[in-house]
Amino acid sequence: MCSGVRYTEPSGKEWNVYFPNPKAALPVANSDGSVEWIKWGRRKEEQAPFVQGGWARSDSIELGKWERYSPVFVKLAVNSFMEKDAAKVSHWIKLREGTAIEALIVQSKEEKRIYIVTEATPIEYAWVHDRWPKINVIVQ
């Protein structure tokens, strides 16, 4: 499903972001090469007009369940993501060059939230988790 991501700044500084952190934000890759940090999803205890959780299933998107939020699809500026297996062991998966994790941004008034789009896990990683971030080839 993707419970953490790793972003490396051009300077080399590395950021690990984990969804359970209430201040978690994800780095969005803008077309001009800049990065914008947007708060990742909504936690149970938050009173906000957003969907609880940090993920948007691709099948729910295809069924139109996110349309009422006017989602904007973006690419994350991350180089790897983390998922825990059934034994709670963390596994960091490095993205291949030229690929990016797909996410969607929703907005309510002045506030934005971002959700990672998920799909079925590739068979070679099925032992880790049943959901996986949707990874796209970057078209330049």
Domain boundaries, the chain: 4-137
Per-residue pLDDT of the chain (140 residues; tens, 9 = 90+): 789 999 999 999 999 999 999 999 999 999 998 999 999 999 999 988 899 999 999 999 999 999 999 999 999 999 999 998 889 999 999 999 999 999 999 998 889 999 999 999 888 888 888 889 999 998 66
Place of tokens 């596994």: 91
What pLDDT score does 110 carry? 86
Cα separation, 52 vs 87, whole angstroms? 25
Fill in the amino acid letter for 86.
Answer: A
Which pTM does this prediction carry? 0.94
- Residue 104: the pLDDT is 97
Report whether 91 contacts 13 (CB < 8 A): no
Q: What is the pLDDT of residue 117?
A: 98
Give me the pLDDT at residue 140, please: 60
Fold classified for 4-137: hypothetical protein yedk fold (3.90.1680)
- For residue 75, count other CB atoms closer than 10 A to its CB: 18
Name the pairing type of β-strands 25-29 and 35-39.
antiparallel
Q: What is the largest CA-CA distance in the chain?
A: 42
pLDDT on residue 99: 96
Distance CA 27, CA 92 (A): 17
